[in-house]
Amino acid sequence: MTTPNRKRRLLWQIPFLLFLIVGTIYIIKQQQDAPYQHDKGAIFGTTYSIIYQSNENLNKEIMAALNEVDQSMSTFNKGSIISKINRNEQVQPDKMFVDVFQLANKISIETNGAFDVTVAPLVNAWGFGFKNGVHPTPQTIDSLKQFIGYQKVAYVNERIKKQDPRLMLDFSAIAKGYGSDVVANLLKRKGIENFMVEIGGEIVTRGISEKRLPWKVGVTKPTDDSLNVNQELQTILNVTDKSMATSGNYRKFYYKNGKKYAHTIDPNTGYPVQHNILSSTVLANNCAEADAYATAFMVLGLDKAKKVLEQHPELMAYFIYSDKNGKNAVWFSPSLKDKIQK
């Protein structure tokens, strides 16, 4: 039997519940009605595309965040912290720089130096960096290797300490991913539920796309396409609420004396990788890690990359590689199976 007091409590709760339901419906409706903003531009020597659902355009705040990353770690910016460190100027790294430097060092250790942010002089010597170099001689490579190695630089007493002043830092294989993370975190702080951030092919997603579907991203087939004209897709991945980065030797390369040289340099040997992986795509919880591991796996090759993945169940990888007959083949993490759409 319902007591008078209980009846009164129920009567009081009904309007509150109705208010809660109506309010929730209103918020959902507002979110659904909000337009998707499209921001595009150039940063870090590459392009960016950011799509997010919001009544307000946040381009100014996004650019401010990207410029902060650029000012910290872009080698294309002569006034950046990393450029000053490379010129051996006395400068105190900011938090962004330290975070990326320490993450890079962690991944360098885990991959036995396959990922190495000191590889810039070798990259430049092979002609993939800021200068158009020529084929370096073995003597040149041996000379450069004297001041290359992640073990030869450290963060000590709020400064970057080099063992050799000729050592150069290059965050290009992690900075684009980190920049994508920075923008994604900005959008999250703004309460934006649906977005895709892409900087130079490194991607962070959340929620759903304009079509009310999960975010899907294609992995391009590895072809000899230095002009990036051929965009035939190998597969399509559902990357909602994940970060994704791809590294491949089919986007940037050149031929010399009939031999193909990839843009991925093995820091341990000093030469472009000649492994069987043609394209390395990594899905992770943050894009900086995805970016760095995708590069590391290109250096390691298929078998060693699989061993690293065994130690990191939080990572998922999709590799396109050349089999023993020279034909393209695919290997992917078992946990990625449900995300493959094609």
Q: What average pLDDT is seen over the chain?
A: 86
Give the span between the Cα atoms of 37 and 190, in whole angstroms: 14
Which residues, other chains included, contact 96 with Cβ-Cβ below 8 Å and sequence gap of 6+? 68, 69, 72, 73, 178, 182
- Please count the helices (runs of H) and the strands (runs of E) in the chain: 9, 14
Report, as an integer, the average pLDDT of 249-272: 68
Q: Say what the pLDDT of residue 33 is.
A: 79
For residue 114, give every residue at least 6 positions away whose Cβ sits within 8 Å of its Cβ, in sequence order, or none: 108, 266, 267, 268, 296, 297, 299, 300, 304
pLDDT band at 25 (very low <50, low <70, confident <90, very high): very low
pLDDT tens per residue, range 149-183? 999 999 999 999 999 999 999 999 999 999 999 99
Q: Which domains are seen in the chain, by residue range?
A: 214-339 (3.10.520.10)
The token pair at 104 is 């890079």
User: Using an 8 Å Cβ cutoff, are 66 and 178 in contact?
Assistant: no
pLDDT given at position 168: 95
**In this predicted model, what pLDDT tens digit does every residue of 261-316 receive, in sequence order?**
556 789 999 988 877 788 899 999 999 999 999 999 999 999 999 999 999 999 99
What's the mean pLDDT in 233-260?
75
pLDDT class of 221 with cuts at 50, 70, 90: confident
Stated pTM of the model: 0.85
Tokens of 134: 């020529």
Name the band, by pLDDT with cuts 50, 70 and 90, for residue 197. Answer: very high
Rg from Cα positions in the chain: 24
Residue 318: enclosing H or E segment and its boundaries? Answer: strand 316-322
Tell me, what's the pLDDT at 104? 98
Smallest Cα–Cα separation from 126: which of 261, 295, 238, 259?
261
